[in-house]
């Protein structure tokens, strides 16, 4: 079955509408095989629809950055998605559960960029382009029914990205390679991990971001935020829940879930 430009446009509209209206959809690859490149083309067009509605691109998220998640989806490469200003939740703020299909949260490290980054770069070059680091929480919400998807489905669906919360920025004058992280729900620890779970060191995720995003003809720009990927498994959100990430030596980041 061939994938034409019209097919890409149709799937972009499908995933965009599903995200905008919090409706679940069947996985695309059930009825139409997609290559990874075609899936990124769907993602690109779907995010362009958001930008056309007035949202602003503010950065990128990296996904499947831990061995556990890669095994879960059966892949050996990380994926990425786009972040817009409308996806950002104020630190300590509230989100509406009704805005999502089956949302989960995972703790991440966020990088704020001061320099551009694109293509093949070293860990040192990536670090030199970082202005600040912060504890962060990503809200992921696959729009696919029963969480059933293949890799191209997830990529097309903006790599499940739905929202993100960023804590206080700090100068990157300390090593973020092994930060102890506790994810709490209603004051109870529900996940415990380390930033080392993010490709062994979150800076490697930034290096991968520069390489992969360049393939699509885009580049990381100063002022943009990069979410490095989940440091623990994701935890399901529920109405009324208070969520907090506690990052050793970095601070806290929190939000609540309303109905």
Contacting residues toward ligand 0L1, per CB under 6 A = 63-64, 69, 138, 140, 142, 154, 159-160, 229-230
Q: Which is nearer to ligand 0L1, 79 or 220 (CB)?
A: 79
C-alpha torsion sign, points 23, 24, 25, 28: positive
Closest CA to 223 of 86, 116, 113, 88: 113
Q: Which residue is nearest to ligand 0L1 (CB)?
A: 63
The least distance separating ligand 0L1 from the CB of residue 164, rounded to whole angstroms, comes to: 10
Instruction: Please choose, from the candidates 103, 105, 185, 92, the residue with its C-alpha nearest in 3D space to the C-alpha of residue 137.
Output: 105
Shortest separation between residue 23's beta carbon and ligand 0L1, angstroms? 16
Q: Please name the residues in contact with 220: beta carbons below 8 A apart, sequence gap of 6 or more.
A: 59, 60, 113, 116, 117, 118, 129, 209, 210, 213, 226
Site string for Mg ion, 170-209 (x = CB under 5 A): ----------------------------------------
For residue 181, which of 164, 198, 160 has the smallest C-alpha distance? 198
- Among 107, 230, 235, 250, interactor with Mg ion by CB under 5 A: 230
Residue closer to ligand 0L1 (CB basis): 35 or 122:
35
CB-wise, 29 or 125, nearer to ligand 0L1? 29
Question: Of 16, 91, 138, 141, which one interacts with Mg ion (CB under 5 A)?
Answer: 138
State which residue, 152 or 230, has the beta carbon closest to Mg ion.
Answer: 230
Spatial distance between the Cα atoms of 23 and 17, rounded to a whole number of angstroms: 8
By the rule CB under 5 A, 107 interacts with Mg ion: no
Give min distance, CB of 234 to Mg ion, in A.
7
Q: At its nearest, how many Å lie between Mg ion and the CB of residue 230? A: 4
Residue 8 or residue 139: which is nearer to Mg ion going by CB? Answer: 139
In the bound complex, what is the minimum distance in angstroms from residue 231's beta carbon to Mg ion?
A: 9
CB of 193 to ligand 0L1, least distance (A): 13
Give the Cα separation of 145 and 54 in Å (integer).
Answer: 28
Closest residue to Mg ion, based on beta-carbon distance: 138
């Amino acid at each position: 079955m061939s994938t034409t430009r019209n097919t890409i446009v149709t799937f972009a509209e499908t995933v965009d509408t599903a995200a905008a209206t919090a409706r679940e959809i069947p996985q695309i690859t059930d009825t139409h095989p997609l290559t990874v490149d075609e899936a990124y083309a769907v993602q690109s067009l779907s995010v362009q629809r958001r930008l056309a509605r007035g949202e602003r691109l503010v950065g990128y998220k990296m996904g499947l950055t831990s061995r556990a998640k890669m095994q879960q989806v059966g892949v050996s490469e990380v994926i990425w998605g786009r972040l817009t200003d409308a996806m950002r939740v104020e630190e300590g703020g509230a989100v509406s559960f009704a805005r999502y299909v089956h949302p989960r949260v995972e703790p991440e490290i966020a990088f704020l960029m001061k320099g551009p980054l694109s293509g093949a770069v070293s860990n040192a070059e990536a670090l030199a382009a970082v202005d600040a680091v912060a504890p962060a929480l990503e809200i992921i919400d696959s729009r696919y029914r029963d969480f059933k998807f293949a890799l191209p489905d997830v990529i097309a669906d903006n790599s499940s990205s739905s929202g993100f919360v960023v804590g206080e920025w700090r100068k990157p004058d300390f090593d973020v390679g092994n930060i102890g992280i506790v994810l709490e729900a209603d004051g109870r620890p529900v996940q415990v991990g380390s930033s080392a779970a993010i490709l062994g060191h979150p800076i490697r995720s930034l290096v991968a971001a520069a390489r992969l995003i360049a393939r699509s003809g885009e580049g990381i720009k100063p002022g943009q935020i990069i979410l490095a990927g989940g440091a623990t498994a994701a935890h399901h959100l529920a109405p009324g829940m208070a969520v907090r990430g506690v990052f050793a030596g970095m601070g806290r980041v929190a939000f609540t879930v309303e109905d």
